[in-house]
Amino acid sequence: MQYYFLYTVFIFPIIYIFPAYAANGAPVLFGGKKPLDFGKHFMGKRIFGNNKNIEGLIAALVAGTIVGLIEYPFFHYMLAIAIVLSIGTMAGDLFGSFIKRRLDVPSGKSVMLLDQYGFLIFALVFAYPLGHMPSVYGILFLIILTGVAHILTNRGAYKLKLKKVPW
């Protein structure tokens, strides 16, 4: 019984969301220079800003898919879910950027909750139709894990000079 609880609340949720985490982190490592919005404006403001670029989007989709390929031999359904999680992750990240530009938040500045959880919410919503979702307790665990991981990974990336800001 304790192993079932451990698996359903902690282990499976991590396995499930890992493609989204990989997709969320990949642009920091492999991002580029070509803005995804091509410098275009919407209602007088940049659509996404310079920090959202084509190379980063491609890196995110590839990273999430690679994680899905690694998980596939153990969980056959995870390849499709990994691809959808990766797409949802990037949709959430771009949505957050779009909202921040509308609110006149400068590129690179953090907006509490939107930056930490936007990708997670979109990833889970996009993947929901494919099934195999973590339990409610597993999702609560992922919310806590994501908050902690967001702080630690961003500070680490900043110290390694992969990011200009520690958030």
CA distance 37 to 49: 7
Query: What pLDDT is stored for residue 77 in this prediction?
Result: 97
Contact between 83 and 68 under an 8 Å Cβ cutoff? The reply is yes
Contact between 31 and 56 under an 8 Å Cβ cutoff? The reply is yes
Residue 110 or 17, more confident: 17
User: Mean pLDDT, to the nearest integer, of 122-144?
Assistant: 98
Query: What pLDDT is stored for residue 27 in this prediction?
Result: 95
Contact between 93 and 71 under an 8 Å Cβ cutoff? The reply is no
On whether residue 104 sits in a domain, the answer given is yes
Query: What pLDDT is stored for residue 59 in this prediction?
Result: 98
On whether residue 39 sits in a domain, the answer given is yes
On whether residue 54 sits in a domain, the answer given is yes
Q: Considering the entire predicted model, what is its pTM? A: 0.93
On whether residue 163 sits in a domain, the answer given is no
Q: How many CB atoms lie within 10 A of CB 64?
A: 30
Q: Tokens in use for 102?
A: 């509308």
On whether residue 113 sits in a domain, the answer given is yes
The number of distinct structural domains making up the chain is 1
CA distance 45 to 105: 11
Average pLDDT, the chain: 95
Contact between 83 and 71 under an 8 Å Cβ cutoff? The reply is no
pLDDT of 136 strictly over 90: yes
Query: What pLDDT is stored for residue 164 in this prediction?
Result: 85
On whether residue 12 sits in a domain, the answer given is no
Q: State the pLDDT confidence band at 74, using cuts at 50, 70 and 90.
A: very high
Contact between 17 and 142 under an 8 Å Cβ cutoff? The reply is yes
Query: What pLDDT is stored for residue 18 in this prediction?
Result: 98
On whether residue 1 sits in a domain, the answer given is no
Q: Which domain holds residue 113?
A: 19-129
The one-character DSSP state at 31 is -
On whether residue 138 sits in a domain, the answer given is no
As a whole-number percent, the residues of the chain with pLDDT over 70 amount to: 100
Q: Which of 64-73, 77-86, 121-130, 156-165 has the lowest mean pLDDT?
A: 156-165
Query: What pLDDT is stored for residue 81 in this prediction?
Result: 98
pLDDT of 12 strictly over 90: yes
User: Mean pLDDT, to the nearest integer, of 10-25?
Assistant: 98
